[in-house]
Amino acid sequence: MIRRRLFSSLLSSTLILNTRISAKPISHALIPSFQLLQSLQCPNPNNYSSNGAFWFVGIRGYSLLSLNDLRDKVPRKQKTRKGRGIGSGKGKTAGRGHKGQKARGTMKFGFEGGQTPMRRRLPKRGFKNPFSLTFQPVGLGKIAKLINEGKIDSHELITMKTLKDTGAIGKQIKDGVRLMGRGADQIKWPIHLEVSRVTVRAKQAVEAAGGSVRRVHYNKLGFRALLKPEWFEKKGRLLPKPARPPPKLKDKVDSIGRLPAPTKPIPFYAEEKEAAATAA
């Protein structure tokens, strides 16, 4: 717009200047615009008219249309304001029409007027077990590395809270920890662990070194109380009681998880129980 106005003002000033200088009627005022643009774009110092009029020299002429003058498509239709009266364009019924099920309220999701809906016409694919459990794996080699660094005391019971506090496992623990046999050759001293699940190889490696592995059961609330007991203290609540495993998981666990996090292992055999009782 600025270029267009500049060109029009330049043209008008040129014509006015020509009329002032020349005494005779200006004959070149009727020169076509393209010739005028050509004379402005290609100035000539000797380009003087016979009656004494002259053109501006050294000024570049611009086209009537520039890229900055182009505009995008601007919507002319105003936004519909429902429920603002008849003057809004969709007042009264607010676009719902007259009567009928859609005018009176919402319908059931997926309702198609009585015919078989899409979710029933399509076949079923796949299966998702709602009772499945997700365990975070941890290898024996990682535990041995943390013991060598002094972050884990091998003389105390290694629980899932110990593994979480030392960084052996991540923070996103869903249902428990599974002990794997990776790096089993690095375990050369007896250690005692309490995890949710354990592989055969890992259990054999720990027992061969003189240690023990116990599979303990925690429900969702108990597992949270094991990992974050400070949360219950902050809320002023007591720690929950240990929950028993469901009948389907009795064969997969050895005992019920203890709260708060234990520091001493539970003996497996009667001889160990008697020895612990006499020592106490």
Residue 225 pLDDT class (50, 70, 90 cuts): very high
- Is the pLDDT assigned to residue 224 strictly greater than 80? yes
Residue 34: per-residue pLDDT: 45
- The tokens describing 89, both together, are 């364009």
Residue 88: per-residue pLDDT: 78
Nearest alpha-carbon partner for 82 in 62, 69, 96, 70:
96
Average pLDDT, whole number, for the chain? 78
- The tokens describing 278, both together, are 């006499």
pLDDT digits (tens, 9 = 90+) for 4-40: 555 555 555 554 445 444 444 444 444 444 444 444 4
Taken in order 219, 220, 226, 229, is the CA torsion positive or negative?
negative
Residue 36: per-residue pLDDT: 46
- Tokens 């309490």 belong to 194
Instruction: Give the CA radius of gyration of the chain.
Output: 44
Residue 33: per-residue pLDDT: 47
SS3 14: helix
H helices present in the chain, as ranges: 2-21, 33-41, 101-104, 118-121, 140-148, 160-165, 200-208, 220-227, 229-235, 270-279
Distance CA 62, CA 12 (A): 15
The reported pTM is 0.54
Nearest alpha-carbon partner for 177 in 190, 187, 164:
164
Query: Would residue 183 be called left, alpha or beta, if left means φ above 0 and alpha means ψ between -120 and 50 degrees?
Result: left
pLDDT digits (tens, 9 = 90+) for 31-83: 444 444 444 444 454 544 445 444 444 555 556 778 888 888 777 777 777 77
Backbone φ and ψ of 262, nearest 5°: -75, 160
pLDDT digits (tens, 9 = 90+) for 118-161: 999 999 989 988 888 999 999 999 999 999 999 999 889 999 99
- The tokens describing 55, both together, are 């053109």
DSSP 8-class letter at 225: H
Distance CA 10, CA 5 (A): 8
